Structure 1
Amino acid sequence: MLKCREFIDTADALVEGELTVRQRLSMRLHWFICKHCRRYLSQLRALLGAIPFMHKPASDEEVERVMRGLRSADEHRDGGE
């Protein structure tokens, strides 16, 4: 039987429908007996459902600022080449 840590590590794949039948059954069995993991899965689903509504689309300025930061981090990592 799964331990809670294994359940948590696999919960995103369960939500995305990426598990085999055997893995899903194992997850559901653990979910059935563990109230903590039931709560975790419920919160994960709620969070994933809310993410699209959490932030408006990024402006061109925000995108450019992030891209400059990434380029700067790459240059710093590569020794300024």
Structure 2
Amino acid sequence: MLSCKELVAHSSDFLDGQLSLRERLSVRAHLAMCRHCRRFIRQMKVTQGVLRALPETAIPELEALAERLAQQRRKP
């Protein structure tokens, strides 16, 4: 069975459907036993969904907001 570290290393390929049958079965067996990794995979699925929903072209207002937030974060 995979360790948690190995599962994390395979997580993107698992979510993208790029693992062999044997690898998928190993991941699924680990997920059946490990609630922490199940939560991690759920979070990864949400993250993928959010990233896919973002527009492909940059939105100037969004870029300006991100820059302002970054500047505020750098202030002591």
TM-score, normalisation: structure 2 = 0.71
Partner of 2:50: 50
Counterpart mapping for 1:12-51 below 5 A: 12-51=12-51
Deviating above 4 A after TM superposition, structure 1's stretches of 4 or more consecutive aligned residues are: none
Counterpart Cα distance in 2 of 1:56 and 1:27: 31
Q: Tell me: CA distance 1:4–1:57, structure 2 relative to 1, closer, same or farther (3 Å).
A: same
Matches within 5 A, 1:57-76: 57-58=57-58
TM-fit CA distance, 1:52:
2.9
Q: Secondary structure at the match of 2:2?
A: coil
- Provide structure 2 residue ranges, at least 5 long, that are not aligned to the other structure: 64-76
Please give the root-mean-square deviation of Cα atoms over the aligned residues, in Å.
2.1
Closer, same or farther: CA 18–56 of 1 in aligned 2, 3 Å? closer
Report the count of equivalent residues.
61
> Percent of aligned pairs with the same residue?
35
Unaligned runs of 5+ in 1: 63-81
- Which residue identity is paired with 1:41? I
